[in-house]
Amino acid sequence: MRSETAQASEDAVRALQLEKLRGGLRQVLKSNPFWRGRLHDVTGWDDFERLPMTAKAELLADQAANAPFGTNLTFPLEDYTRLHQTSGSSGDQPLRWLDTHQSWAWWLHIWADHVYQAAGVTPADRVFFAFSFGPFIGFWSAFGGAERLGAMAISGGAMTTEQRIRNLRDVGATVLLATPTYALRMADKAQELHLDLASSDIRLTIHAGEPGASIPSTRSAIEAAYMAVSFDHTGMTELGPTGHSCTQRDGIHLIESEFIFEVVDTKGRPALEGELVATNLGRWGSPLFRYRTGDHVSLSREQCSCGSSFVKVVGGIRGRVDDMFTVRGVNLYPSQVEDIVRRHSAVREFVLERRAVKHMDEVVLVVEMAEADAPTDRLEADLRQALGVRISCRVVPVGTLPPGELKAKRIVNAP
């Protein structure tokens, strides 16, 4: 049940969103070549709902036709102070993204005042970033956000896994940022080296790039390895930092004071479950309006006992809309398989191989195990019981699957 207070705070957020949108849109309509022809002025929510949705393909096409930066620029080029680019992990061309001093400050504010705040990071913390610090925006914004909060920000760039483990222990890091896959890889490596991560000072871990920290068994594995509490975070180069998990550990709050979020079904109609669509409200140098994120979510407006009034993505982001696969009529996401796989400690890494046979998906779970002839019947039985379909497993030696520091791709087309 939603209380009157909850309704009042939802109304206040809606009013704030509209006010921010109208202020920013005025400038965008004046001088942003990409949006000028696409958008109209907005005075109320009806006008907003008539704005067209935008997909990544349009941004890629615009950048290809107007190299190197595209036309989504509200201000003269000299006003932009940072250039980043997407990882290109989905097989697309990397997308370049420019930020102004103002929009970068907006990123850092969201990290400091929402993402770190929700996890309980304080100025007394030492935050270790187990990232390469390449051109991907997530590393730099997380780092800058920790600095803005007043915490000590420690780069783990250009280090081997062993160097990172030794470094974070030596400097007494209390917070670790890494992808879930990489956090587990570090834990495996630490065990090999007889270095105990559980006795390190790490008390919190924050994860992004994959849904892992919202998947109960993956989160438990990380928490056990580090003796820490793990949080999930969502964000995109194109949009900004969009959400974080909370003390209730059952989903992700979307930061509605800085974005407008919508969910649409496959036909583009409003829905409670479907694709997440987002509009940012503070990155006016290169904004996005009604951007289709490609993430499949299910939303709940139930009041959360953590006290946040922001809408919740139940169970975290389920996966990319494109990663859904269908086995005997059952729609599944790799995250559901991951939840089962991570309960089997013998499995180091895994990937789903998909092959289309007569318009049907045939999926094989490829698992890395320390022993090449390890039996998989218990894993197969657990998958069958949890998912209601049969997925067969193939064991490969450890080191066969590509290591994932950035984002592990959990479903690939069979060679």
Of the two residues 54 and 309, which places its CB atom closer to Zn ion in the complex? Answer: 309
Taking the complex as a whole, how short is the minimal distance between the CB of residue 249 and Zn ion, in angstroms?
9
Of the two residues 51 and 306, which places its CB atom closer to Zn ion in the complex? Answer: 306
Of the two residues 284 and 310, which places its CB atom closer to Zn ion in the complex? Answer: 310
Taking the complex as a whole, how short is the minimal distance between the CB of residue 9 and Zn ion, in angstroms?
13
Taking the complex as a whole, how short is the minimal distance between the CB of residue 214 and Zn ion, in angstroms?
12
Of the two residues 98 and 311, which places its CB atom closer to Zn ion in the complex? Answer: 311
Taking the complex as a whole, how short is the minimal distance between the CB of residue 301 and Zn ion, in angstroms?
12
Q: Which residues contact 317 (CB under 8 A, 6 or more apart)?
A: 211, 214, 234, 252, 276, 295, 296, 297
Q: Are 258 and 113 within 8 A, CB to CB?
A: no
Taking the complex as a whole, how short is the minimal distance between the CB of residue 400 and Zn ion, in angstroms?
39
Q: Which residues contact 247 (CB under 8 A, 6 or more apart)?
A: 306
Beta-strand ranges (E) seen in 161-300 are 175-178, 204-207, 229-236, 240-245, 251-254, 259-264, 273-280, 291-300
Of the two residues 5 and 248, which places its CB atom closer to Zn ion in the complex? Answer: 248
Taking the complex as a whole, how short is the minimal distance between the CB of residue 308 and Zn ion, in angstroms?
5
Any alpha helices (H) in 237-362, and if so which ranges?
334-341
Q: Which structure tokens are listed for 215?
A: 């998947």
Cis peptide before 68 (omega within 30 of 0): yes
CA-to-CA distance for 289 and 280, rounded, in angstroms? 7
Taking the complex as a whole, how short is the minimal distance between the CB of residue 306 and Zn ion, in angstroms?
3
Of the two residues 80 and 116, which places its CB atom closer to Zn ion in the complex? Answer: 116
Q: Which structure tokens are listed for 237?
A: 């180069």
Of the two residues 130 and 246, which places its CB atom closer to Zn ion in the complex? Answer: 246
Question: What distances in angstroms separate CA 189 from CA 164, 184, 219, one per listed residue?
Answer: 10, 9, 18
CA-to-CA distance for 337 and 328, rounded, in angstroms? 15
Q: Which of 166, 156, 209 is nearest to 189 (CA)?
A: 166
Taking the complex as a whole, how short is the minimal distance between the CB of residue 218 and Zn ion, in angstroms?
20
Interface with Zn ion by CB under 5 A: which residues?
A: 246, 248, 304, 306, 308
Inter-helix orientation angle 334-341/377-387, to 10°: 130
Is the C-alpha dihedral spanning 232, 253, 318, 280 positive or negative?
A: negative
Of the two residues 231 and 289, which places its CB atom closer to Zn ion in the complex? Answer: 231
